[in-house]
Amino acid sequence: MILRGIAASDGIGLGRAVCVREENLDYSDVAYSGKESEKARLQAAIEEFEQRTSAMAEHIRQQVGDKESEILTGQIAMLADPFMRSQMQDAIDGGACAEAAVDNVCTMYADMFAAVEDEMMRQRATDVKDIRSRLLGILLGAASVDLSNLPAGTVLVTRELTPSMTVGLQKENVAAIITATGGKTSHSAILARALQVPAVLSVTKVLEVVQDGDGLIVDGGEGIAILNPDERTRSEYLTRQKDYQARIASLKVYQNRPTVDADGKRYQLFANIGSAAEAEVAAQSGAEGIGLFRTEFLFMDRTSLPDEMVQYEAYRAVSQTMAGKEVIIRTLDVGGDKAIEYLGMEKEENPFLGHRAIRYCLDRPDLYKVQLRALLRAGAEEHNIKIMLPLVTSVDEVRAARELLEQCKQELSEAGLPYDKDIALGVMIETPAAALTADLLARESDFFSIGTNDLTQYTMAVDRGNAQVASLYTPFQPAVLRSIRSVITAAKEAGIPVGMCGEAAADPGLIPLLMAWGLDEFSVSTSSVLATRASIHRWREDEVKRIAQEALGLSTASGVEGYLKKVSAPEK
């Protein structure tokens, strides 16, 4: 049986399914077994919780850091509170089963913390909710998959891939990933590419069709998965996998080469990262800098805001890893598809058009200034950090952000703390409003970076994660191409550098167009760095100019894509 989805991370993986299903925490069928027995069940569950949580905390301490692991050790301390324990015991004495005791007491504490104005207290509410669901999971024996201990050759089948899932994931045992939701530029896709694991997304009903242990072949380049393949298909795909691996190995020759076209013209080739640890991978991938550090991941994998020191350390680590090379760090791009529960943001009818990214940050200067200060300080030694603003739609937003940046500089000067006084402030061009006013924004910005993932979404009025409208969602659309070209032209006219950090920067068909129009910098996922360098290498200036002219004369996305695929095919 062939399952079709969205091709999200290239490569071929063969293995057996491990399904991550949502836990069912309904305990309405659990019968009360008597005081002593319920108390014994509760005690055993608490001990199991403590054991699992300290193992997780230790794992995270080694993989991520002390601060992140303290969130978990803090939960153990909370549950050790004698008052909380005695309230659970009292509930059991009153006739509640262990599940109901946990549910009622934890919910009461969570409501109490959530009602307090203080941010720290509100974050505790998130912790108690987490304790509640994990304790209920243990009591009900809900099978939670241990992602840090997967068997070799696992094909992970899940609704979506989240940053917290990837923290403990044993990458070498994951042959491929299939998800039920998400598009080419969703976070599931970005994370799968960062892990360099083949992935197919938005496979409808995959969690209903696939069972644990089923055989699977995943072709992340074609966007298909084959369920319980026969022997012939398996061996055919094993050959394809070898060919793919040979192709990847052949790109190694580009590892230490400069990024130049066939005429010797130089381009900058940067990498996109989602964590400080990924900067190491970027440095080894042959990237010449970081073109996008998505800082929201730093905020997502926790139950409370990262303070100035935590942020400073993460940004400084990237700055040092990339010493001597540019590092573009994007300020918090929260909202839309990136929810951060502890911020308590309101549910919105149209989250992609709502109170998000720069809009949210400018309304929360308390929170935003912490990030700006951390960035200013992190750039003090290497002077290689640049700040980038997400989802800009007007000059006012850039001015307001600059004003806050100046206030932060003032505060740091007064505190006698070192910082980068000349830090550059750039703008992401990812909305039609920004693209149409690129000339105005260019006067107020030190650089541009085109975010085609969102620019395509907003230009085409098409949700980037919705599989049903995915055929409209392509940067080959004439509307998107015209927008990209005019942004590059505006930047050139204003004399500021312009890069691209959306996924389109790694598309071999689009690369000649971007070269022809004068893009200065390509920023791609770490797994695409060498292939992008190889693409740039093959073109001469006169060739790309001719191709760009031809492509712009075509009136449909499929026409443009077909033409560019043909001219950029490897056998050329």
Nearest to 444 by CA among 401, 484, 487: 401
Q: Is 337 in the site for Mg ion (CB under 5 A)?
A: no
- Among Mg ion, ligand PEP, none, what binds residue 475 when CB lies within 5 to 8 Å by partner kind? none
Q: Given the rule CB under 6 A, which of 278-286, 381-389, 446-454, 490-498 is the region that contacts ligand PEP?
A: 446-454
Residue 426 contacts Mg ion per CB under 5 A: no
Site stretch for ligand PEP (CB under 6 A), options 9-17, 123-131, 275-283, 448-456:
448-456
Distance CA 391, CA 404 (A): 17
C-alpha–C-alpha distance, residues 82 and 69, integer Å: 23
Which of 69, 304, 311, 453 binds ligand PEP (CB under 6 A)? It is 453
Using CA atoms, how far residue 21 sits from 154, 210, 279, 370, in Å, is 15, 11, 32, 37
Min dist CB 195 to ligand PEP, Å, is 16
Q: How far is the CB of 197 from ligand PEP (least distance, A)?
A: 19
Strand order in the sheet with 199-201: 2-4, 224-227, 215-219, 12-20, 154-158, 174-179, 199-201, 6-9
User: Tokens 């001597």 identify what position?
Assistant: 324
What is the nearest approach in angstroms of Mg ion to the Cβ of residue 221? Answer: 24
Q: Which of 430, 520, 543, 561 binds ligand PEP (CB under 6 A)?
A: 430
CA gap 512, 545 in Å, rounded: 8
Burial (0-12, 13-18, 19+ Cβ within 10 Å), 469: middle
We find the least distance from the C-beta atom of residue 8 to ligand PEP, in angstroms, to be: 13
Measuring CA to CA, how many Å separate 92 from each of 99, 200, 268? 9, 47, 65
| One of 15, 499, 502, 509 touching ligand PEP (CB under 6 A) | 502
What are phi and psi for residue 517, nearest 5 degrees? -80, -10
Least CB distance from residue 503 to Mg ion, whole Å?
10
The first and second tokens of residue 454, run together, are 């969102």
Say if residues 287 and 529 touch (Cβ distance below 8 Å).
Answer: yes
Site for ligand PEP, residues 148 to 177, rule: CB under 6 A: none
How far apart are the C-alpha atoms of 373 and 464, rounded to whole Å?
32
Instruction: Choose between 183 and 223: whose C-beta lies nearer to ligand PEP.
Output: 183
Residue 366, classified by CB atoms within 10 Å of its CB into exposed (0-12), middle (13-18) or buried (19+), is exposed
In angstroms, give the least distance from the CB of 452 to ligand PEP. 5
185 contact, one of ligand PEP, Mg ion, none, CB 5-8 Å limit per kind: ligand PEP
Number of chain positions touching ligand PEP (CB under 6 A): 11
What's the min distance (Å) between Cβ of 276 and ligand PEP? 17
Closer residue to ligand PEP in complex, CB, 398/506: 506
454 binds ligand PEP (CB under 6 A): yes
Torsion angle (degrees, nearest 10) of CA 369, 372, 373, 375: 160
- If the CB atoms of residues 110 and 292 are measured against ligand PEP, the closer one turns out to be 292
Candidate segments 101-109, 142-150, 303-311, 445-453, binder of ligand PEP by CB under 6 A:
445-453
Select 288 or 430, whichever has its Cβ closest to Mg ion. 430
Rounded to whole angstroms, how far apart are CA atoms 407 and 311?
Answer: 19
| Residues 265 and 257: beta-carbon distance below 8 Å | no
503 binds Mg ion (CB under 5 A): no
Report the nearest approach of ligand PEP to the CB of residue 430 (Å).
5
Instruction: Check binding of 110 to ligand PEP (CB under 6 A).
Output: no
State how far the Cα of 99 lies from the Cα of 179, in Å rounded to an integer: 31
Nearest approach in angstroms of CB 493 to ligand PEP is 23
Rounded Cα distance, 218 and 379, in Å: 42
**Cβ(515)–Cβ(472) under 8 Å?**
no
Hey, how many other C-beta atoms are within 10 angstroms of the C-beta on 386?
23
Pair 252, 530: CB distance under 8 Å: yes
Find the binder of Mg ion among 103, 454, 507, 520 (CB under 5 A): 454
- 294 contact choice in Mg ion, ligand PEP, none (CB below 5 to 8 Å, kind-dependent): ligand PEP
DSSP-derived pairing of the beta strands 12-20 and 268-273: unpaired
Q: Shortest gap between Cβ of 189 and ligand PEP (angstroms)?
A: 9
Catalytic residues: 187, 501
Q: Does residue 333 touch ligand PEP according to CB under 6 A?
A: yes
Q: Binding to ligand PEP by residue 278, rule CB under 6 A?
A: no
Which residue lies nearer to ligand PEP by CB, 472 or 567?
A: 472
| By the rule CB under 5 A, 296 interacts with Mg ion | no
Residue 166: CA count within 13 A, CB half-sphere: 24
> Beta-carbon neighbour count of residue 237 at 10 Å?
19
Note whether 182 binds Mg ion by CB under 5 A: no
Residue nearest to Mg ion (CB): 454
State the residue number with the nearest CB to ligand PEP.
451
Pairing state between β 215-219 and 224-227: antiparallel
Please give the distance of CA 335 from its chain centroid, rounded to a whole number. 13
Q: Which stretch binds Mg ion (CB under 5 A): 28-36, 107-115, 203-211, 430-438?
A: 430-438
Which partner, ligand PEP, Mg ion, none, binds residue 452 by CB below 5 to 8 Å per kind? ligand PEP
* Chain CA centroid to CA 116, Å: 31
If binding is defined by CB under 6 A, does position 335 make contact with ligand PEP?
Answer: no
d(CA 29, CA 16): 33
Say how many residues touch Mg ion, by CB under 5 A: 3
Is 397 or 430 the residue whose CB approaches ligand PEP more closely? 430
Closest CB to ligand PEP among 225 and 388? 388
The verdict on 451 binding Mg ion (CB under 5 A) reads yes
Helix axes 478-494, 541-552, angle to 10 degrees: 130
Interface residue with ligand PEP among 8, 283, 310, 501 (CB under 6 A) is 501
Which positions touch Mg ion (CB under 5 A)? 430, 451, 454
Site residues, ligand PEP (CB under 6 A): 185, 292, 294, 333, 430, 451-454, 501-502
